[in-house]
């Protein structure tokens, strides 16, 4: 991050999300946070620590373990003129609220013929990599991206962790924000005046001429690490951070593929019927004749996530797999 | 099931005008539903169609207790609630015809009637799914210090859903102004309450969450009105949620696809003797509050309204297919 003209400060992803929440609560009296352990515990990932003391129990609401009902209550409160932020502790538990998200939040505007929009934000932690085994390691943001009527955001950078929330709260429709749980401790520089960012566009995080690598969330940093190594080998990879999985900004990656003629998708979700499959299909539809080699994908192994460290590492996308795929793809001529 | 141990609602003062209003509302619903069934057979209406015959006293009695600022969350058997709440028969019928002049532009159909002017939030067709929404609407009112009631209709089937229990708990925990209105018609589609619940006294379930709870004869519009007024007043005064069970019965099949294999004709006939409209008419006549001329006049008025609604729906137009993807997302977003 170039900070030569701006004052920057060291900040963690956790602190960036905390700051975004605090900023939203200060800006708009209609904003409130509710979810499991967001108040007295300070948030499962310590993101909301201190907010209860500052904003009180009316606006920082600890809920019972009733995912479906507090998510539905968020929808109802949004319909009633509030701007709720519902925190579902992790994506794994969001399955218990999936009826409210899919059948209510996503449908109300269309089903009512445009009468009732739902200005709701739902945040949740996602992803594996912490040896939490099969029931606590899901990456289901691609599933949610299947659903018309909601927006699906995956902030990977500090800038997005800080800036996406307010833009999401201003949006008239339901927005789901997936924060990868391995990112909360990530530290870096952020401009002091960092504020809201757009939630519509993918971003080129590293320009390159030889191959386009499309990714999002925590995988972004594995891809950037791989790109750095490849650069030393004379291979320049263009790295695209999708940022928003629905609606998908395909223009950005199609334009990139038109320049690099190669595309690799790195996605922590499972391969079959996945977001990576969607991206691959869009490249076939929109840039087929630009391709020098077939699109490739690096996804999580199609297994329930194992506990053992070596098995979990083998199941997740890793830098060495990215390196191997890219080297093969750029030396191949189809 | 016998209706017993029920709270005997004190009779509200019954004047002629109010009595006629209640009867008129019930007749509107009954005749509307009968016509909807005909129109379904004539293939003017498609999809699922769940009719409210037999349960009219519930919607009509309850709506008397609500103000225009209150909110209503209903189920997929909601024509009666919509009519009683003030949606026009024409806009409902046009919706069921799938026309863009319908209350939801034909997007929702019979199961999903919505109206912003009367704060009518569906038309919700996932059993139990409306309860959390009602909790949230009430939370918004409480947080904004508005003395409103959110009235949430659901059936006995919803009591088996986790969302019922979660919502009772959360509404009681946060003392939210929700009137939980259970229309117990004894069957969750084809499964009798006695075959699905270990405890069939539904008010007891709600009471176990520290929700004030009562049961009332849902075939008696005056009893429903009285119980609902009392419940709504308590909710509005900030005393937390209230659960009111209206014990009623559906005279027609669950939907137009239901062969009714799960209940006897004798049972249905037995309940029809307690028809909320016929018994109310008799009661009014006994008290000299209604005569045949007035009743005939009322029936003509209702028939005219429904005929006009049909005439309207018939000439309504289809939303252009180009509009299919409108309202997936809002058309106005901040730049």
Condensed to tens digits (0 to 9), the pLDDT of residues B15-41 reads: 999 999 999 999 999 999 999 999 999
Q: How far apart are CA B171 and CA B138, in angstroms?
A: 9
Structure token digits, residue B22: 């209640």
Domain end call among A140, A165, A191: A191
User: Does a structural domain hold residue B126?
Assistant: yes
Structure token digits, residue A167: 């833009």
The chain A residue lying nearest B152, using CA atoms, is: A76
Question: Measured between CA atoms, how close is A42 to chain B, in angstroms?
Answer: 20
| A36 and A185, same domain (yes or no) | yes
Q: Domain total for chain A? A: 2
Task: Please return the burial class of A327, using the count of CB atoms within 10 Å of its CB with bins 0-12, 13-18 and 19+.
Answer: middle
Domain end call among A167, A191, A215: A191
Contacts of A109 in chain B (CB under 8 A): 327-330
Q: Answer yes or no: do A76 and B126 touch at CB < 8 A.
A: no
| A219 and A158, same domain (yes or no) | no
Cβ atoms of A91 and A139 closer than 8 Å = yes
Task: Please return the burial class of B331, using the count of CB atoms within 10 Å of its CB with bins 0-12, 13-18 and 19+.
Answer: exposed
> What is the model's pLDDT at position B3?
36
Residue B76: pLDDT over 80: yes
User: Does a structural domain hold residue B21?
Assistant: yes
The chain B residue lying nearest A170, using CA atoms, is: B334
Residue A58: pLDDT over 70: yes
Q: Which residues contact B237 (CB under 8 A, 6 or more apart)?
A: none
Q: Answer yes or no: do B330 and A117 touch at CB < 8 A.
A: yes
Averaged pLDDT for residues B218-233: 98
Q: What are phi and psi of B55, to 5 degrees?
A: -105, 10
Cβ atoms of A81 and B140 closer than 8 Å = yes
Q: How far apart are CA A3 and CA A288, in angstroms?
A: 39
Averaged pLDDT for residues A91-108: 97
Q: Answer yes or no: do A73 and B121 touch at CB < 8 A.
A: no
Q: What are phi and psi of B123, to 5 degrees?
A: 55, 60
> What is the model's pLDDT at position A171?
98
Averaged pLDDT for residues A134-150: 97
Q: Answer yes or no: do A115 and B114 touch at CB < 8 A.
A: yes
Structure token digits, residue A255: 């334009």
Structure token digits, residue A78: 């949004």
Q: What are phi and psi of B98, to 5 degrees?
A: 75, 30
Match 């297994």 to its residue by tokens. Answer: A303
Q: Which residues of A touch B (CB under 8 A)?
A: 32, 58, 61, 63-64, 66, 68-82, 84, 99-100, 103-104, 108-117, 148-149, 151, 167, 170-173, 247
Helix axes B276-286, B221-236, angle to 10 degrees: 100
Residue B13: pLDDT over 90: no
Cβ atoms of A210 and A307 closer than 8 Å = no
Q: Considering only CA atoms, which of A274, A304, A94, A313 is closest in space to residue A182?
A: A313
Task: Please return the burial class of B142, using the count of CB atoms within 10 Å of its CB with bins 0-12, 13-18 and 19+.
Answer: buried
Q: Kindly report, residue by residue over A274-299, the tens digit of the pLDDT.
A: 999 999 999 999 999 999 999 999 99
Contacts of A80 in chain B (CB under 8 A): 71, 136-141, 144
Cα angle at B137 between B135 and B140, to 5 degrees? 110
Average pLDDT for chain A = 96
Residue B12's pLDDT band (cuts 50, 70, 90): low
Contacts of A82 in chain B (CB under 8 A): 139-140, 143-144
| A105 and A234, same domain (yes or no) | no
Averaged pLDDT for residues A25-37: 98
Q: Kindly report, residue by residue over A209-239, the tens digit of the pLDDT.
A: 999 999 999 999 999 999 999 999 999 999 9
Cα angle at B261 between B258 and B265, to 5 degrees? 100
Give the catalytic positions of A in this structure. 67, 136
Contacts of A172 in chain B (CB under 8 A): 329-330, 332-333
Q: How far apart are CA B269 and CA B257, in angstroms?
A: 20
- Please compute, for residue B302, the number of CA atoms within 13 A of its CA located in the half-sphere on the CB side: 23
The chain B residue lying nearest A112, using CA atoms, is: B104
Q: How far apart are CA B309 and CA B214, in angstroms?
A: 37
Contacts of B180 in chain A (CB under 8 A): none
User: Does a structural domain hold residue B190?
Assistant: yes
Q: How far apart are CA A287 and CA A280, in angstroms?
A: 10
Q: How far apart are CA A63 and CA A44, in angstroms?
A: 13
Structure token digits, residue A235: 């291979």
> What is the model's pLDDT at position A333?
62
Q: How far apart are CA A13 and CA A177, in angstroms?
A: 14
Q: How far apart are CA B19 and CA A123, in angstroms?
A: 51
Q: How far apart are CA A66 and CA A35, in angstroms?
A: 9
Q: Answer yes or no: do B328 and A112 touch at CB < 8 A.
A: no
- Which of A64, A69, A115 lies closest to B132 in CB terms? A69
Residue B7: pLDDT over 50: no
Domain end call among A191, A218, A248: A191
Q: Of A259-268, B215-224, B249-258, which range is least confident?
A: B249-258
Residue A158: pLDDT over 80: yes
User: Does a structural domain hold residue B91?
Assistant: yes
Residue A120's pLDDT band (cuts 50, 70, 90): very high
| A93 and A118, same domain (yes or no) | yes
Task: Return the number of other C-beta atoms located less than 10 Å from residue B39's C-beta.
Answer: 18
The chain B residue lying nearest A71, using CA atoms, is: B132
Cα angle at A123 between A118 and A129, to 5 degrees? 150
> What is the model's pLDDT at position A190?
97
User: In chain B, pLDDT over 70 holds for what percent of residues?
Assistant: 96
| A185 and A222, same domain (yes or no) | no
Residue B257: pLDDT over 90: no
Question: Measured between CA atoms, how close is A141 to chain B, in angstroms?
Answer: 19
Q: Considering only CA atoms, which of A151, A83, A163, A81 is closest in space to residue B330?
A: A151
Averaged pLDDT for residues A257-268: 98
Range(s) of the domain holding residue B162: 16-36+46-310
User: Does a structural domain hold residue B301?
Assistant: yes
Match 């901040």 to its residue by tokens. Answer: B334
Which CA distances in Å does A228 have to A182, A208, A268? 21, 11, 20
| A139 and A269, same domain (yes or no) | no
Q: Answer yes or no: do A73 and B122 touch at CB < 8 A.
A: no
Q: Considering only CA atoms, which of A136, A300, A166, A322 is closest in space to residue A239?
A: A322
Residue B8: pLDDT over 80: no
| A223 and A88, same domain (yes or no) | no
> What is the model's pLDDT at position B2?
35
Q: Domain total for chain B? A: 1
Which CA distances in Å does B256 have to B36, B40, B262? 11, 8, 15
Q: Answer yes or no: do B140 and A82 touch at CB < 8 A.
A: yes
Give, as one character, the DSSP assignment of residue A104. I
| A154 and A60, same domain (yes or no) | yes
User: Does a structural domain hold residue A161?
Assistant: yes
What CATH number does residue A319 fall under?
3.40.50.920
User: In chain B, pLDDT over 90 holds for what percent of residues?
Assistant: 93
- For testing the chain B interface, which of A29, A36, A72, A118 should be mutated: the one with the most B CBs within 10 Å? A72
Question: Measured between CA atoms, how close is B92 to chain A, in angstroms?
Answer: 12
Ramachandran region, residue A273 (left: φ > 0; alpha: ψ -120 to 50; beta: rest): left
Q: How far apart are CA A172 and CA B334, in angstroms?
A: 9
Averaged pLDDT for residues A14-29: 98
| A287 and A161, same domain (yes or no) | no
Q: What are phi and psi of B164, to 5 degrees?
A: -60, -50
Averaged pLDDT for residues A264-280: 98
Average pLDDT for chain B = 95
Q: Kindly report, residue by residue over B146-177, the tens digit of the pLDDT.
A: 999 999 999 999 999 999 999 999 999 999 99
Q: How many CB pairs under 8 A join A and B?
A: 150
What CATH number does residue B137 fall under?
3.40.50.970
Residue A6's pLDDT band (cuts 50, 70, 90): confident
Averaged pLDDT for residues A171-191: 98
Cβ atoms of B210 and B180 closer than 8 Å = no
Structure token digits, residue A246: 């629905």
The chain A residue lying nearest B172, using CA atoms, is: A64
Residue B10: pLDDT over 70: no
| A65 and A89, same domain (yes or no) | yes
Range(s) of the domain holding residue A224: 203-331
Contacts of B326 in chain A (CB under 8 A): 114
| A287 and A216, same domain (yes or no) | yes
Q: Is the peptide bond before A143 cis (omega within 30 degrees of 0)?
A: no
Q: Which residues contact B189 (CB under 8 A, 6 or more apart)?
A: B157, B254, B258
What CATH number does residue A43 fall under?
3.40.50.970
Sheet holding A237-241, edge to edge: A203-206, A237-241, A211-215, A263-270, A296-300
Contacts of B121 in chain A (CB under 8 A): 76, 79, 116
Residue B335: pLDDT over 80: no
Q: How far is CA A75 from the centre of its chain?
A: 21
β-bridge partners, B247: B184, B217
Q: Answer yes or no: do A70 and B326 touch at CB < 8 A.
A: no
The chain A residue lying nearest B169, using CA atoms, is: A64
Ramachandran region, residue B313 (left: φ > 0; alpha: ψ -120 to 50; beta: rest): alpha
């Amino acid at each position: 991050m170039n900070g030569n003209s701006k004052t920057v400060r060291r900040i963690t992803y956790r602190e960036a999300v905390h700051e975004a929440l605090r900023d939203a609560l200060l800006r708009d009296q209609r904003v409130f946070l509710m979810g499991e352990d967001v108040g007295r515990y300070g948030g499962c990932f310590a993101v909301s620590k201190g907010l209860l003391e500052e904003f009180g129990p009316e606006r920082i609401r600890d809920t019972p373990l009733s995912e479906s009902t507090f998510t539905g209550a968020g929808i109802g409160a949004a319909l009633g003129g509030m701007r709720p932020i519902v925190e579902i502790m992790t994506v794994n538990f969001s399955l218990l609220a999936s009826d409210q998200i899919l059948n209510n939040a996503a449908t109300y505007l269309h089903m009512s013929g445009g009468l009732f929009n739902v200005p709701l934000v739902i945040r949740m932690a996602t992803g594996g990599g912490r040896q939490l085994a099969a029931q606590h390691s899901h990456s289901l943001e691609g599933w949610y991206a299947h659903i018309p009527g909601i927006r699906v955001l995956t902030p990977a950078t500090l800038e997005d962790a800080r800036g996406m929330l307010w833009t999401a709260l201003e949006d008239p429709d339901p927005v789901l924000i997936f924060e990868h749980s391995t990112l909360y401790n990530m530290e870096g520089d952020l401009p002091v005046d960092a504020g809201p960012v757009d939630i519509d566009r993918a971003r080129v995080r590293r320009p390159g001429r030889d191959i386009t690598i499309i990714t999002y969330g925590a995988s972004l940093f594995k891809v950037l690490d791989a790109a750095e190594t490849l650069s030393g080998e004379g291979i320049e990879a263009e790295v695209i951070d999708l940022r928003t999985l629905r609606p998908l900004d395909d223009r950005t990656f199609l334009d990139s593929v038109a320049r690099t003629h190669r595309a690799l998708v790195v996605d922590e979700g499972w391969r079959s019927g996945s977001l990576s499959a969607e991206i691959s299909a869009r490249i076939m539809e929109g840039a087929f004749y630009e391709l020098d080699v077939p699109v490739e994908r690096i996804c999580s192994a199609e297994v329930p996530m194992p506990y053992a460290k070596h098995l979990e590492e083998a199941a997740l996308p890793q830098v060495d797999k990215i390196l191997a795929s890219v080297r093969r793809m750029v030396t191949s001529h189809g | 099931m016998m209706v017993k141990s029920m709270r005997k609602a004190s009779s509200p003062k019954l004047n002629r005008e109010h009595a006629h209003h209640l009867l008129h509302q019930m007749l509107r619903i009954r005749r509307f539903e009968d016509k909807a069934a005909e129109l379904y057979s004539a293939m003017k209406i498609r999809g699922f169609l769940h009719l409210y015959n037999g349960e009219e006293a519930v919607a009509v009695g309850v709506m008397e207790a609500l103000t225009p600022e209150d909110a209503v969350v209903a189920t997929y058997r909601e024509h009666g609630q919509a009519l009683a709440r003030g949606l026009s028969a024409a806009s409902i019928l046009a919706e069921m015809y799938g026309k863009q002049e319908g209350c939801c532009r034909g997007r929702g159909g019979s199961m999903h009637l919505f109206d912003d002017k009367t704060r009518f939030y569906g038309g919700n067709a996932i059993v139990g799914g409306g309860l959390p929404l009602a909790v949230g609407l009430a939370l918004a009112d409480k947080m904004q210090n508005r003395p409103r009631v959110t009235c949430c209709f659901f059936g006995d089937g919803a009591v088996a859903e986790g969302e019922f229990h979660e919502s009772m708990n959360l509404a009681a925990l946060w003392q939210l102004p929700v009137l939980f209105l259970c229309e117990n018609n004894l069957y969750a589609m084809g499964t009798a309450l006695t075959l699905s619940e270990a405890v069939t006294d539904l008010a007891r379930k709600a009471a176990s969450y520290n929700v004030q709870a009562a049961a009332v004869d849902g075939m008696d519009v005056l009893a429903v009105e009285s119980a609902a007024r009392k419940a709504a007043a308590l909710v509005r005064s900030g005393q937390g949620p209230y659960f009111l069970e209206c014990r009623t019965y559906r005279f027609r099949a669950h939907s137009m696809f239901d062969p009714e294999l799960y209940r006897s004709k004798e049972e249905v006939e037995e309940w029809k003797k307690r028809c909320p409209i016929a018994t109310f008419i008799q009661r009014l006549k006994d008290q000299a509050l209604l005569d045949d001329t007035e009743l005939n006049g009322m029936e003509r008025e209702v028939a005219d309204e429904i005929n006009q609604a049909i005439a309207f729906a018939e000439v309504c137009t289809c939303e252009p297919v180009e509009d299919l993807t409108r309202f997936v997302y809002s058309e106005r977003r901040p730049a």
